Amino acid sequence: MAVITQKYGQICDIIGHGSSGVVLLSHKVQGCNPNLDRFYAIKVFRRGAESTGTAYRRRVDTEFFISASLQHHNIVRTFNLFRIKYCSGGDLHSLIVTSGQLEQAKADYFFKQLIHGIDFILEIGIAHRDLKPENLLLSPNGCLKISDFRSARCFRLSWENHVHISRTRRLFYIVGTISMRGI
What band does 183 get if pLDDT is binned at 50, 70 and 90? very low
Q: How far apart are CA 10 and CA 77, in angstroms?
A: 21
Q: Which one of the listed residues 13, 61, 130, 148 is annotated catalytic?
A: 130
What residue numbers does the annotated binding site for ATP cover?
Answer: 43
Query: pTM to 2 decimals?
Result: 0.78
Instruction: Give the percent of the chain with pLDDT over 90.
Output: 40
Q: How far apart are CA 49 and CA 47, in angstroms?
A: 7
Identify whether 108 is a catalytic site residue.
no
Which residue ranges form the domains of the chain, and what is each CATH number? Answer: 2-182 (1.10.510.10)
Q: Are 39 and 26 in contact (CB under 8 A)?
A: yes
